[in-house]
Amino acid sequence: MAIKFNRVDFKYKGEGKKGYLALSNISLSIQGEGEFITLIGETGSGKTTLVQHMNALLVADSGSVDIYGIKVEKEAVKKKKIRLNPIRKKVGLVFQFPEYQLFEETVLKDITFGPKNFGVPEKDAVETAKSVIKIVGLDESYLERSPFNLSGGEKKRVSIAGILAMEPDILILDEPTSGLDPLGRNALLKVFFDIHQKLNKTVIIITHDMNTVYEYAKRVLVMRDSYLVYDGDPVNLFTSKNIENWNLDVPDVLDLTNKLERDLGISLKTRPRSASDLTKALEEVLR
């Protein structure tokens, strides 16, 4: 197991979030390859706090998080007994507004910044940059451009390329598609799915978009008031009563499937999770 949470509690201290309990008794395991996970829940439920424990940006108050065999505990981190660099290399985290974090004069310099910091020679870092820029759906000509003249969607792609250049096994993205137009969102989701499928990496996405969850996720984590209340597959989640209690929306495809079955008496042979699957399922019963 790549990441293992064992009864983790975490409280924010200091001004503002005084005494604010963000994680309560969290236990879960994440594999280092082949997972496609979406993490959902209301604003303030602890989603961002949870993923920040996955690469030791935050450290549990009690309980422990095991990351690639390194036991991240409060005392050990305080006494600097733990080297965090290997963890950061294995688990890449893309923040909610990654575009605010671009700072170099060219895209190339931004993408190679991380690897060079980790001691990768310039020549190799440039080669990696050339390959990751394509993975995120841009071409090599972008490498010489200034990141500040790019569109919002392009900036997001460049920042994701910067994290991919570190070649992490696990890629975590905090609300990567919010604010993008439908075409931009679909294209970016396809990028994440390709990274998962072709490179066999584990991808974890925080989102409020139930359609993304239903269409792509193999596993869903639901946070509610600092607790992990669901860890399982999306079909069971959205067909259970909990979606009302947890203030989640019904995905469009499921909603339309239910309406067709209820109002037209159609009974589909499969449980479609995308528009094209729903069309195929309808075709099957209508032909």
**Which residues are near other proteins by CB under 8 A?**
16-17, 41-44, 151-153, 175, 178-186, 208, 210, 247-249, 252-253, 256, 259-260, 263-264, 266, 275-276, 278-279, 282-283, 286-287
User: What is the C-alpha separation between 239 and 134, in angstroms, rounded?
Assistant: 38
Nearer to other proteins, 119 or 286 (CB): 286
Looking at the Cβ atoms of 72 and 278, the one nearer to other proteins is 278
d(CA 246, CA 255): 17
Give min distance, CB of 183 to other proteins, in A.
4
Q: 43 vs 141, which CB is nearer to other proteins? A: 43
Report the distance separating Cα 104 and Cα 199, nearest Å.
28
Which 3 state secondary structure label does DSSP give 271?
coil
Nearer to other proteins, 91 or 189 (CB): 189
H-only helix segments in the chain: 47-54, 74-78, 85-90, 107-117, 122-135, 152-164, 182-198, 210-216, 234-238, 242-245, 252-264, 275-286
Q: Please check whether residue 168 is in contact with residue 201, taking contact to mean a CB–CB distance below 8 angstroms.
A: yes
**Minimum distance, C-beta of residue 135 to other proteins, in the bound complex (Å):** 21
Token pair 């931009």 in the structure block, residue: 184
CB of 41 to other proteins, least distance (A): 8
CA angle in degrees (0–180, nearest 5) for 202-208-211: 80
Of the two residues 131 and 276, which places its CB atom closer to other proteins in the complex?
276
CB of 282 to other proteins, least distance (A): 6
Q: Dihedral sign, CA of 221, 223, 226, 228? A: negative
Q: From its phi and psi, is residue 34 left (phi > 0), alpha (psi between -120 and 50) or beta?
A: left
Helices and strands in the chain, H and E counts: 12, 10
Please state the closest distance from residue 99 (CB atom) to other proteins, in A. Answer: 11
d(CA 16, CA 3): 30
CA dist., res. 11 & res. 89, Å (int): 26
Distance CA 171, CA 168 (A): 6
Q: Looking at beta carbons only, is 114 or 272 nearer to other proteins?
A: 272
From the CB of 96, what's the least distance to other proteins, in Å? 9
Residue whose CB is less far from other proteins, 56 or 246: 246
Cβ at position 78, least distance to other proteins in Å: 28
Q: How far is the CB of 259 from other proteins (least distance, A)?
A: 7
Q: Which is nearer to other proteins, 35 or 99 (CB)?
A: 99
